């Protein structure tokens, strides 16, 4: 990296967070707070850098691209390489890791500031939330299977994958509950109730002969909850 020589000890994350580029075109005596880019930088003659530490309290870098890897993921070296690149000062890749070490070994002996360790921990919250969500959905599926089919075996992993995780799950599976209706179903139900009220007010329907809105909007609730594979085997 061709950042100013005075910022050689600044890591990439802090550089992105605290540095501000200033144009000095037409300025005879730029402020001494403005730092000169390293030789070879294309903006060395036209711009300077203002390094504002106060931006650590007001600016959060937006890291584009894929999500940061998990700390306990399958590719430990990839995680260590990513963290070292962001939070350890370097100008060339060879300064991060020697050819005789792995990224994991370099990560163990790396010196990372406490503030950066907190940021790294915060970055992992997304993965922790996803893991907690998956564990919760798996627990709900097991509870539903135990309540609906106490004598049957649990669904296989492939069958569980066919059930979308985004669908709200209620342990009692009360599918006739209004809260379980989708947007379209709720709209149709409201329209039927409005039309029934108009017909009753016009004297076209008798209360004891009319079909209640609950009957019109009732949902079908199967006696047993089975996975797609088992339903196919029963139908065939």
Asked if residue 204 lies in contact with residue 127, where contact means CB atoms within 8 angstroms, the answer is no
Min mean pLDDT across 153-157, 199-203, 223-227 is at 153-157
Q: Residue 71 contacts by C-beta under 8 Å, 6 or more apart in sequence?
A: 79, 120, 124, 127
Q: Of 172, 167, 192, which Cα lies nearest the Cα of 182?
A: 167
Q: Residue 171 has what pLDDT? A: 45
Q: Residue 103 contacts by C-beta under 8 Å, 6 or more apart in sequence?
A: 76, 77, 78, 80, 81, 84, 97
Min mean pLDDT across 31-35, 130-134, 213-217 is at 213-217
Q: What are phi and psi of 21, to 5 degrees?
A: -85, 130
pTM for this model (two decimals): 0.55
pLDDT tens, position by position, 146-155: 777 665 544 4
pLDDT tens, position by position, 75-127: 899 999 999 999 999 998 888 888 888 999 999 989 999 999 999 988 888 77
Q: Residue 167 has what pLDDT? A: 47
Min mean pLDDT across 11-15, 72-76, 205-209 is at 205-209
Rounded Cα distance, 2 and 41, in Å: 6
Strand-pair partners of 139: none
Kindly list the distances between the CA atom of residue 139 and the CA atoms of 46, 60, 94, 126, in Å, as whole numbers in the listed order: 61, 36, 47, 20
Q: What is the mean pLDDT of residues 175-187?
A: 61
The 3-class secondary structure across 57-80, one letter per residue, is HCCCCCCCCCCCCCCCCCCHHHHH
Strand-pair partners of 50: 20, 34
Structure tokens at 148: 């609906």
Of the spans 32-46, 120-134, 157-171, 174-188, which averages the highest pLDDT?
Answer: 32-46
Q: Residue 220 has what pLDDT? A: 60
Give the rounded percent of residues in the chain with a pLDDT score beyond 90.
28
């Amino acid at each position: 990296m061709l950042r100013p020589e005075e910022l050689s000890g600044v890591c990439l994350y802090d550089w992105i967070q605290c540095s501000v580029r200033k144009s000095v075109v037409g300025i005879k005596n730029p402020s001494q707070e403005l730092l000169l880019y390293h030789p070879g930088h294309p903006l060395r003659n036209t711009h300077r850098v203002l390094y504002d530490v106060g931006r650590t309290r007001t600016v959060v870098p937006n890291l584009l691209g894929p999500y940061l890897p998990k700390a306990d993921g399958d590719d430990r070296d990839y995680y260590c390489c990513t963290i070292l690149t962001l939070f350890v000062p370097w100008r060339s890749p060879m300064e991060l890791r020697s050819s005789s070490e792995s990224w994991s070994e370099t990560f163990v002996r790396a010196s990372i500031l406490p503030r950066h360790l907190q940021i790294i921990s915060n970055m992992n919250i997304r993965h922790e939330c996803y893991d907690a969500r998956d564990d919760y959905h798996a627990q709900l599926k097991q509870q539903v299977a135990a309540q609906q089919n106490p004598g049957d075996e649990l669904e296989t992993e492939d069958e569980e994958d066919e059930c979308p995780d985004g669908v709200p799950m209620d342990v009692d599976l009360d599918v006739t509950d209004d809260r379980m209706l989708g947007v379209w179903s709720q709209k149709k139900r409201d329209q039927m109730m409005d039309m029934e009220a108009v017909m009753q007010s016009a004297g076209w329907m008798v209360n004891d002969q009319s079909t209640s809105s609950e009957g019109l909007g009732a949902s079908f609730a199967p006696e047993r909850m089975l996975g797609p594979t088992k339903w196919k085997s029963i139908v065939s």
